[in-house]
Every structure is written in structure tokens, then in C-alpha cells.
Structure 1
Amino acid sequence: MSVVTENFPDISFIDDATVEETMNQMIADYQEKYKELTGKDVSLGQADPYRLIMYACTMQIYQAMQYADYAGKMSFLKYASGEYLDNLAALRGITRLQASAASTVLRFSIETVYPFAVAIPLGCRVTNGNDLFFSTDEYAEIKAGEQQVTVAATCTQTGIQGNDFAPGELNIIVNTLPYVVTVENMVTTYGGADIEDDDSLRERVYSVPDTYSTAGPDGAYEYFAKEADASISDVVVQTPAPGEVVVYVICDGGKLPEDALLQKVSDHLNDRKIRPLTDHVTIRAPEKQEYNIDLTYYIANSKKTAAGTIQAAVNTAIEVYNTWQMEKIGRDINPSYLIQKIMEAGAKRVDIRSPVHTVLQNDTIAVAGTINVMYGGVEDD
């Protein structure tokens, strides 16, 4: 949820009318007009043909009211979505960030030193054996007398599915390369992102006034940092000394950015059209503060028939909590929210030993460590 959807009031172009209210109003209007024309009162029973006709008309009229309400709301940032939001964003010169492909660095190796160069052509593809491929971004070659070369590579598909392949996972050469024996990725694949979602675009539209001058305000640095790459989900800006600006970024799901992504953000923020000449800007990944989960939860006797379902829901709740902790830089480690999610999953009570409430600095992100969750059984309500 963005600050816009959370903090701005709801509106209705039909005064929150319901289909029942619309039907009652139509009947009342009919009865009033009938008396005006005939001087007599009229009562419409549930099976009266005129009442049934009005009911059928009400459904069509109310559907038109819903369309009118929807169309009106699509003109407001709080409600706009899809193409409507794209057009609102266009009024401020903003376009939705498109999906991006993951990147990595590949190392190609040969067994024997040769007196000639071994070519690695542009577009050479590698994989880990699944249907996802990375291709080299440029021509490279293993020079005469050497046995290896590194070259940047990009996933052939856009989206997050290209992320998080650990070093060494991409080790199968798809193309036939004479002399080349092995290949492996040197860094974890990073930077893949799906097309920008509505909440992210809505937030950028709302904060774009911060960018009307150079990136002096922290809001402007936040905006331009997110603009640099679609995978960036949270930004914190600090000024430890006059003229010094430190920008901390994380990616979707609380993942820490790779060095190459930090450099990409740095290059973008240090553009002379963005950065004030007097600012020295540094881009960093936040520090990690690990927390452990150690708890026992119980289920009420009245819910014992659903014990299996509740246990599965509790496990999901813990995953949701861990993701929530990682979504924001500087978010305090909050066991109360963990208890809340477990209770919402159906538990009767929670005996939590760890984590304890911990205040984090704005350069730190909470990361889950060991998880020990025990089911204590059924208790009387």
C-alpha cells in the first residue's frame, strides 16, 4: 500500500448507494407519482409485475451507476490503476518503468594455454539446465597465453525469474565454443524486475514534485534512486555531514543490492541534471541486523478440528512477518506484529521467546536467522 491509498479519504460518486437503496427509491418514486396522478395510494407486493419490472430496471441502472463511480474514481490518484494511472502519470511526465532483465558476470575458461586468442562471441548463451538463458553483452576473447576471461551477461527474459542464481549455477554453455571447457557466473544474478506495479507508480507520481529542482531534498533522492532501476523497493537518504549524502537502497522482498546495481544507481544520481554540484553522493546497501524466531503457539479446543489448517496458516504468517520486516530499511524488529499475524492465523495464544523489540537505525535492515516454531497443542478456550 502506498501513502496515497493509506492516507487519503475514500470518495464515492454515487454517495455509497446500494442496489437495495436504489430499488427502494424507485418504488417510492413510483408510488409518489401514482398518487399524484390518480389521487390513490398503491402498494406493490413482492410478486407484483410492476415491482419485478422495476427490479429488472434497477439492476441495469445500478450497473450504470457503478460504471459512473468507477470512471470518476479513475481520475484520482488514490484509485487509478492500469492505463488510467498511466495517463495520470503522463500529466506529470512520468511513464511506468518497464520490466528489466537480470544481469551477471560470466567467466569462460580453457584447459590449455594457446598461442592464439579464443573468441567468445556476442550473444553466447549459458544456462543452469532450465529454460532460462543468459547471453553475453559483448564480444570477448581469451587472449593468447591466458586461460580465462570475464564478460557481462544479461538474461534473455525480463522479470524477477532471472534473479538469485548463486555463483557457479550458470555452468552450461548452449552455443558450441571451440576450446572453451567451462563457464560459470561470478556473481549472483541481480536486477531483474517485473513491470512496475500500480502502487509503485502511484507513489512516484505523488512524490514527483520533490524533483522539480535538483535532488537536494531527501524525497528527490528517493524518487531518482527508484527511477534508476525497477527492482528497487525502498530508499533511505541520510546526510552525515554538510555536502555528504548517503543513499541506502534495497530491492523487492528486502534483498540487498549487488555491487553492479549500486553502481547503476550511483551513476544515475550523479548525473549533473540530478545532483547538486555541492553534494557528494554515496550509494550503499544497508547493514543487516539478524533476529531469531523462537516461540510456542497453542490452538483453542473449539478449533481443534481445524488444527492442521491453522498450523499451515501459522507457518505462512511467519513467512509474511519475515517479508514484512525486510520491506523497509530501518524498520524496528517488532515481535508484537509477529504475534498479531499468528493470532490472525487462528492460534489461541503465543509464547514468544525471541525476537525482542529492537530499535534499528535508518541504515539497517532486519533479516531472519534461525526459526524455531513449536506447536504446543490444544488448550481450553
Structure 2
Amino acid sequence: MTYLDYQATTPLAPEALDAMLPWLRADQPWSHANPHSAHREGRRAKAAVEVAREQVAALLPPGGRLVFTSGATEALNWAIKGSTGRVVTVATEHAAVLDTVASEARRGRAVSILPVGSNGLVDHRHQADGEGRTGLVAAMLVNNEIGVVQPVAALAEAAHGVGALFLCDAVQGYGRVPIPPTVDLVAVSAHKIFGPKGVGVLWIRHGVALEPLVHGGDQEGGRSGTLSPALCAGFGAAAGLMAAQADSDAVHVERLWRSARDTLGPDWIVNGSDEQRYHGNLNVRLPGLDVARLMSDLRDLAFSAGSACASGSGRPSHVLRAIGLTDAEARSSIRLGFGRYTTQYELVEAIGRIDAAARAQRRVAA
């Protein structure tokens, strides 16, 4: 099986697994210790968590604190629900943002959704309509469906100009695209950077106060719940690799991108900006393509017809609709995600098969 769905999740790095295993072994007397306990074994577990915290924080802006969460979805929910004032966000955001903002709107909070152009980019000069003080602006660094890189630095500056906080969903960009140092809140997920599922972080700039989302023991200073040393250690190891291998990963992804573009036939159209994007995400469409049939014909290839969070809904991607695609165009689009563990040979071979199968469909239709 060839895996080309890196935006949905990434393979677990062997180094991350190795960092986790000592905390999962029943024959180690300290492996099951609660990192919030004051005894010796608890302190040992706590130390492992703090090492991981430093590793993850190394790729985040200075001047803030890092809080472990169950994932980016919780982090984004907390940042939005824990803030006040009108929320401004972008039409192409992840469901974890858009659905949370919609929930806040049902509770009476003022909300504005900014449109994007056909390239997927939001105009940072756009002034959202609405009454009331803007308290939070939320925007994704790298779009999970089309890979477009938003002008986050300019958006953060605009937010600060009206006295608002800026929340950056950096799930797809962490370790790959620089996070501007002027942001106030950052959400990251471990399983998008070759770490384990079930753990993420919310980075909070010093001086920013959020109402808690989960109440209890307040183990993380605003976030309650017992942390898993295994998950944190795996996250930390994965983050350390993102830092250590940043240059080699970037070169590899560029090589894969060029090979993918060269292999695709000229009839395939890239969705979103061809320049301002992360090149590990290739979202393309072919007029008249039956994506469901294509995926059925190529079951040994793992690629996406849209974001994994929206699969099975039967609805066209809200991101593709937001950039102006028709339902038919959105449904004729596929997303190919690749990275560190993808070989050039398997990518070229897979895309060649995708292109051939798609062209066979068109010949039959003709």
C-alpha cells in the first residue's frame, strides 16, 4: 500500500515510538506513575513530560507557555471558547474552528467569517462586518485541504490593530512553515508531525488569559486532566525530529512536489494558489472525474477525496466551495499528501496509476 494522505495523519516516527515504549511497559515500576504525583516515581514521570514540553516549544515563538491537550481540536475549542468579544475567522478553516465558532454564535456571540479569493488566500485588509468589539481573530497557517499558506503575520498585525488576540491553527505548518512570532495563541497536533494520536498543545502568549474549557484538577494551569507521559514523550521526540530534520525534510518534499507535478498530465488543475502553498499537499482536479470510482479502482493507494474530517458526509468540501469551485468541480478533486517517508519512486508510480485510471474513465465516458 502506498500512503499519500499525510494531511489526515502522518506515519509514527520510529524515534517517537522508542520514546513512548518505556512509559508503556508494565515491567517498569515507574512507567505507570502519575506525572502530577509528588512521590519519586511521579517526579520522574513529570520530568519526562517537561523534557517533551521543551522539545515541542523549541519550534514555537518565544514569550509564551505550552499547555498539553488531547489534540488540536481541544486546543482550538479552548482558545475560542475561552476568549471574549467578536470572533473573526476565515471561510476555509478546519471544522474544529468553524463548528466551534458556529456553536458560539448560537450562544449569542458575534461572529464574522471572512471570504477567500480563488487562490484560497484571505485579504488581510478585509474588514469584517458586524457590531461589537473584536476579541479574537483565528486563521490557519497552512490549509489542511489545499495547502495554501495564509498571510498570518499580516492577519495578526490587523488583529492587534483592533485590540484583538490572534489564534493560529498551525497543525499543518508546525515545523514546516515558520510561525510568525506575533501570534498570541497556537494550536498543534502530534499526529500531524509523525507523533502519536491523542495529544496536542495550545501555546499561550504570556499575559493572555483564557477561561478554562475543562474543569478539575487544573494540572496544566487552566487545563485539567492527567497527562500521559508516553504520549507527551512521543510528541516531544517527533518535535525534536522536525527541528533536526527540517532542512532535509524540506528538500525531500520539494523533490517530491516537482516529481508529482511532472508526472501529472496537463489536464489536471491545481486547487488554490500555486505559489503560496506548502508543497507536501497537492490538491488537484480533473474535469468529469469520478473520484469514488477512482478510489475504488486504486484501493492499494491511500489518498483523499477531501479532508478526512469531512469524508462520508456526502457534501462537497467547504474549502473548495469557498474558492469558487462548483459542486461538480469539488467532487472531481483529490488530495495527495506526502513527506518524510514517501519515496520518489512510489510517488511517481502512484501518480502515474492515478492519471492512467482517470484517463481510462474519460475514454469510457467518451
TM-score w.r.t. the length of structure 1 is: 0.25
In terms of fraction of residues, the more strand-rich structure is: 1
Structure with the larger RCO, 1 or 2 (CA within 8 Å, 6+ apart): 2
Larger Cα-atom Rg: 1
TM-score, scaled to structure 2? 0.25
